[in-house]
């Protein structure tokens, strides 16, 4: 399983906002800090706003902030909101499946089980967990401070 860049940047964005909770951050600033295109970060932030994780503040001194405390933002929910699909193999998408062995193949079950375990594990963590695990908060503060 590999997460898309969209999800990767979404997780980085919310971690940055969680580490610096008192500040509003512009999309341009976030894109510059992570060395990604402003347009890509705009799409990521739009997804996170639409999913209810971010609060956009308009105006001259506007920017982005977390809509909820970090302990209330579930990692699995963020990943589900930002990934476009979880089709690990062709047969996971009934509309596009052309695999000739799908009916007899025993691979689908284990892959579905593995995907469920992956998501179930992410569901056990909050954004707060990401920024307060041993050593992470201090290191992130150095990067963003």
Domain-wise residue ranges, the chain: 5-84+127-144
What pLDDT is attached to residue 84?
85
Of all residues in the chain, what percent carry a pLDDT higher than 70?
Answer: 89
Fill in the DSSP letter of residue 106.
Answer: S
Contact by Cβ (8 Å): 3, 83: yes
Nearest CA among 59, 57, 50 for reference residue 17: 57
Report phi then psi at 23, rounded to 5.
Answer: -110, 145
Q: Which element (helix H / strand E) includes 10?
A: helix 5-19
Pick the CATH number of 5-84+127-144 from 3.40.630.30, 1.10.10.10, 3.30.200.20, 3.40.50.1370: 1.10.10.10
Coil, helix or strand for 133? coil
Range 45-58 average pLDDT: 96
- Average pLDDT in the 20-33 region? 92
Q: What is the average pLDDT score of the chain? A: 87
Distance CA 95, CA 114 (A): 22
35: left (phi over 0), alpha (psi -120 to 50) or beta: left
List, in order, residues 6 or more apart from 67 with CB less than 8 Å away: 52, 53, 54, 55
- For 76, the token pair is 């699995």
Residue-level pLDDT at 60: 86
pLDDT digits 0-9 by tens, 53-107 = 999 999 888 999 999 999 999 999 999 999 988 776 667 777 887 777 777 788 7
**Confidence class for position 137, pLDDT limits 50, 70, 90:** low
């Amino acid at each position: 399983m590999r997460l898309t860049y969209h999800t990767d940047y979404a997780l980085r964005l919310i971690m940055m906002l969680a580490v610096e909770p008192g500040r509003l951050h512009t999309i341009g600033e976030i894109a510059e800090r992570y060395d990604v295109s402003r347009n890509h970060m705009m799409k990521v932030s739009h997804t996170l706003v639409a999913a209810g994780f971010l609060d956009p503040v308009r105006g001259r001194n506007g920017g982005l902030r977390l809509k909820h405390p970090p302990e209330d933002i579930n990692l699995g929910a963020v990943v589900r909101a930002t990934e476009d699909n979880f089709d690990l193999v062709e047969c996971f998408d009934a509309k596009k499946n052309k695999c000739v062995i799908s009916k007899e193949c025993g691979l689908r079950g284990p892959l579905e089980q593995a995907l469920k375990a992956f998501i179930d594990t992410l569901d056990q963590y909050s954004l707060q967990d990401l920024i307060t695990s041993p050593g992470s908060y201090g290191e992130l503060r150095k990067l963003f401070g």
